[in-house]
Amino acid sequence: MKHRLIFVFTICGLIGFVLVVTVMDETDFNKRYHQHEEWNTAVQTALDSSDSKTHLPVIKIDTAGQQIPSNRIKGSKTNSLAEDGEGEIETTFTLYQGESSPISLLTNIHYRGNSSQSFRKKSYSLQFVDQNNKEKAVTLLGMEADNNWALHGPYLDRSFIRNYVAMNIAGEMMPYAPDVRFVELFIDESYEGLYLLMEKVTKGEGRVPLTTPETNSRQTSYIVEVDRPDKMKYRLNEFVSYTNKSYPSGTEFIYPTGKQYTEERQQFVERDFSYIAHSIYQIPYAQEGDRYQDLLDVQAFYDYFIINELFRNVDAGRYSTYFYRDMRGKLTPVVWDFNNSLNNYQSTVFDETGFSLTQRIFYEQLLQDEDFVNGLIRRYDTLRKTKLKTERLHHYMDETVAFLGDSITRNNERWRNMYDLTEYDTFNYLRPMERNVTSHQEAVQQMKRYVGKRAAWLDAHIGTLHQYAHPSRHSHESIK
């Protein structure tokens, strides 16, 4: 690793501090835990009172007869609250793993997701608490301790492996990608099938590496999310929002919240994020005074573009798009939610051709810089020879499916209507009907074929990104 110091001063003298930057070699990849490669499959856990066992961890959630609420967008038709009017309920969470003693915890739970809340198989948001309902950080299955977790129930993704594959491969490349583990889930003794336990994008050791703001300081490290505005609690009035660069999305302040939140810190984040965005949106003008390279983790922006384009994750840069910045570091993107990727978007067909991120937040402007385009293409070529080789991706998918084994059969017995097109409706299937697969094997083969064709298309067309940096494309533009 190499280190260098960069002095950064924002407009109006808002901040003046030193960035300590770690510069990674382009082939210096992260060590990532891959459950299908490292998990001890010889250790079996009993599923119920029968002789059925699984090599996967088992989670049981006891709601004590309470209805799980959605805690979704206020006013939404699918919004539901608990009986006491709250957006979540307290439950008992028990984790079983082989012959080890079960781990029993208290967790507040609600349904999570947007369109996925209409699926028969639900996903859940978990917040662990102590006996006094105070936040409690817990470590689960070797993942870093935190109180916030997600239980993703792959349903529209009939292969079950999109998020697992994409998150783990992104984690090899990028500074941070949420860690994930497959589990089997029971809710009130009802078997709910195969789930993916996921870290959320939160501050913490082993998660997003941010410093805690000093007492009485208005300055802070932060996490923001670009997503649907009507579900936001701490929406920011920052540059990309008030100039409609992120329309129809908005930007929400994700950290610091709770005890660390103050209005002054939210205002600081608005100013700081706006300054960085404004610097980017001056490209290709005023480069000498505002070097965006000193404000962004440029390689992370390359990798975010590449992994999302390769998996054709069309929501990236529009919804569920996270950025963080430590006071000592640079603005950095974080991947999230590949459920709709690889032509699995519910309402629209996206074939293997074309780019999705070229007109999205920041990239629409970054691609006007020739140095950025050249670096992006070099990084793409490196990754295609290493972590993103088509053969490696196909092998990774096959090995993951083999690891899941009988859990796929159990899941498909629980959700047998997934592949039955006589049960077709517009909420639980892709549209139009002929896009839907009729078996898990077909779903995996479709996924493998698509990523192969997508990779081949990108190999042939990645060089066309040079056109976005050509003066003829943006010579008519002016700085607003």
Tens digit of each residue's pLDDT (9 = 90 or more) over 127-140: 999 999 999 999 99
Closest CA to 388 of 166, 160, 178: 166
Residue 293 domain-assigned?
Answer: no
Three-state SS at 435: helix
What residue type is assigned to position 150 of the chain? A
Q: Omega into 432 within 30° of 0, i.e. cis?
A: yes
Give φ, ψ of 275 to 5 degrees: -60, -45
**Higher local confidence (pLDDT), 341 or 82:** 341
Angle at 403 between CA 400 and CA 407, to 5 degrees: 110
How far apart, in whole angstroms, are the C-alpha atoms of residue 94 and residue 46? 13
Q: How many residues does the chain have?
A: 480
Q: What confidence tier does 22 reach under pLDDT thresholds 50, 70, 90?
A: very low
Q: Which residue has the tokens 């950290």?
A: 255
Residue 165 domain-assigned?
Answer: yes
What's residue 23's pLDDT?
47
Going by DSSP bridges, is the β-strand pair 180-187/58-62 parallel, antiparallel, or unpaired?
A: parallel
What's residue 398's pLDDT?
98
Residue 145 domain-assigned?
Answer: yes
Is 71's pLDDT higher than 70? no
Is 21's pLDDT higher than 60? no
Residue 75 domain-assigned?
Answer: yes
Q: What confidence tier does 48 reach under pLDDT thresholds 50, 70, 90?
A: confident
pLDDT digits (tens, 9 = 90+) for 104-118: 999 999 999 877 788
Lowest-confidence pick of 121-125, 199-203, 282-286, 347-351: 282-286
How far apart, in whole angstroms, are the C-alpha atoms of residue 200 and residue 334? 11
How far apart, in whole angstroms, are the C-alpha atoms of residue 53 and residue 56? 9
What residue type is assigned to position 346 of the chain? Q
What's residue 188's pLDDT?
96
Helix (H) or strand (E) holding 53: strand 53-54
Q: Which domain holds residue 62?
A: 35-199
How far apart, in whole angstroms, are the C-alpha atoms of residue 211 and residue 135? 19
What's residue 7's pLDDT?
47
313 Rama sector, left if φ>0, alpha if ψ -120 to 50, beta otherwise? beta
Residue 84 domain-assigned?
Answer: yes
Distances (CA, A) of 196 to 8, 164, 437: 40, 8, 21
Q: What confidence tier does 72 reach under pLDDT thresholds 50, 70, 90?
A: low
Within a 13 Å sphere around the CA of 368, how many CA atoms are in the beta-carbon half? 22
Distances (CA, A) of 452 to 250, 353, 388: 34, 12, 11
The total domain count for the chain is 1
pLDDT digits (tens, 9 = 90+) for 396-428: 999 999 999 999 999 999 999 999 999 999 999
**Structure tokens, 119:** 């699926």
Q: Which residue has the tokens 């032509």?
A: 343
What's residue 477's pLDDT?
54
Lowest-confidence pick of 40-54, 239-253, 303-317: 40-54
* In 254-369, alpha helices (H): 263-280, 298-310, 363-366
Long-range contacts: 398-405, Cβ < 8 Å, 24+?
Answer: 398/444, 399/36, 399/37, 400/36, 400/161, 400/164, 400/165, 401/159, 401/161, 401/444, 402/36, 403/35, 403/36, 403/39, 403/41, 403/182, 404/36, 404/56, 404/160, 404/161, 404/182, 404/194, 405/55
How far apart, in whole angstroms, are the C-alpha atoms of residue 326 and residue 235? 20
Residue 168 domain-assigned?
Answer: yes
What's residue 18's pLDDT?
46
**Higher local confidence (pLDDT), 247 or 58:** 58
Give φ, ψ of 238 to 5 degrees: -120, 180
Average pLDDT, the chain: 89
Residues of the chain with pLDDT > 90: what percent?
78
Q: How many CB atoms are closer than 10 A to CB 401?
A: 18
DSSP 208: B
Q: How many CB atoms are closer than 10 A to CB 399?
A: 13
Residue 109 domain-assigned?
Answer: yes
pTM above 0.75, yes or no: yes
**Structure tokens, 253:** 């302040």
